Chains A and B, each alone.
Chain A
Amino acid sequence: MEKKKGQDELLRITIHMKAHYRFPAGSHYERFFKEIKETGRIMGVKCPDCGRVLVPPRPVCGECFSKTEEWVQVGPKGKVIAFTSIYFPFIDGTTGKPRPIPYGAGLIQLDGAFSAINHILEEGDPEKLHIGMRVEAVLKEKREGNIGDILFFRSIEE
Chain B
Amino acid sequence: MGRKVAIIGTGQTKHCSSREDVNEMELIYEAATAALKDAEMTIKDIDAVVLANMELFEGRALPDMWCGEGAGGFMKHAFKISTGGTSGTSGAISGYYHVASGLFDKVMVVGFEKHSEGNASSGMALTDPFWDRHIAAAAIGNFALSVSEYMADRGVTEEQSAKVAVKARRNACNNPHAHLQMPDLTVKEVLESPVLAYPIRRLEMCPQSDGACAIIFASEEIAKKRCPRPAWVRAAVTRHDHIYLGEVKKRLTIMRSLREAAKVAYDIVGIKEPLKEFDVAEIYDPLTYAEIAWYEALGFCKDGEGGKLIDDGITLMSGELPVNPSGGVISTNPVGASGTIRVAEGALQIHGRGGKRQVPDVNLVLVTGYGVYCWSDLLILSSRPG
Which partner residue on chain A sits nearest B247 by CB separation? A115
Would B129 and A23 count as touching, CB distance under 8 A?
A: yes
The minimal Cβ–Cβ distance linking A35 to chain B, given in whole angstroms, is 14
Would B149 and A115 count as touching, CB distance under 8 A?
A: no
Binds A, one of B68-76, B104-112, B118-126: B118-126
Would B136 and A87 count as touching, CB distance under 8 A?
A: no
A119 in contact with B130 given A1-B19, A10-B21, A54-B247 (CB within 8 Å): no
Would A1 and B18 count as touching, CB distance under 8 A?
A: yes
A62 in contact with B242 given A86-B197, A92-B125, A131-B149 (CB within 8 Å): yes
A29 in contact with B130 given A1-B21, A10-B21, A54-B247 (CB within 8 Å): yes
The minimal Cβ–Cβ distance linking B99 to chain A, given in whole angstroms, is 32
A87 to chain B: which residues have CB within 8 Å? Answer: 194-198
Q: Check A120 for interface membership: any CB of B closer than 8 A.
A: yes
What is the number of residues of chain B that contact chain A, defined by CB distance less than 8 Å?
47
Give A63 to B241 CA distance when docked, in angstroms. Answer: 9
Give A55 to B196 CA distance when docked, in angstroms. Answer: 28
A86 to chain B: which residues have CB within 8 Å? Answer: 137, 140-141, 144, 196-198
A90 in contact with B138 given A3-B21, A55-B246, A84-B197 (CB within 8 Å): yes
B127 to chain A: which residues have CB within 8 Å? Answer: 93
Range of interface residues on A (Cβ < 8 Å): 35 or more
Would B145 and A84 count as touching, CB distance under 8 A?
A: yes
B147 to chain A: which residues have CB within 8 Å? Answer: 84
A109 to chain B: which residues have CB within 8 Å? Answer: 246
Would B125 and A90 count as touching, CB distance under 8 A?
A: yes
The minimal Cβ–Cβ distance linking A55 to chain B, given in whole angstroms, is 7
Would A93 and B125 count as touching, CB distance under 8 A?
A: yes
Give A103 to B244 CA distance when docked, in angstroms. Answer: 21
Which partner residue on chain B sits nearest A124 by CB separation? B198
A105 in contact with B194 given A56-B130, A93-B136, A131-B149 (CB within 8 Å): no
Which partner residue on chain B sits nearest A92 by CB separation? B136
Which partner residue on chain A sits nearest B19 by CB separation? A1
Would B247 and A105 count as touching, CB distance under 8 A?
A: no
Q: Can you list, as one digit per residue, whether each of A122-153 has a CB less than 8 Å from chain B (1) or not (0)?
A: 00001000010000000000000011100000
Q: Check A73 for interface membership: any CB of B closer than 8 A.
A: no
Give A77 to B59 CA distance when docked, in angstroms. Answer: 40
Give A147 to B135 CA distance when docked, in angstroms. Answer: 10
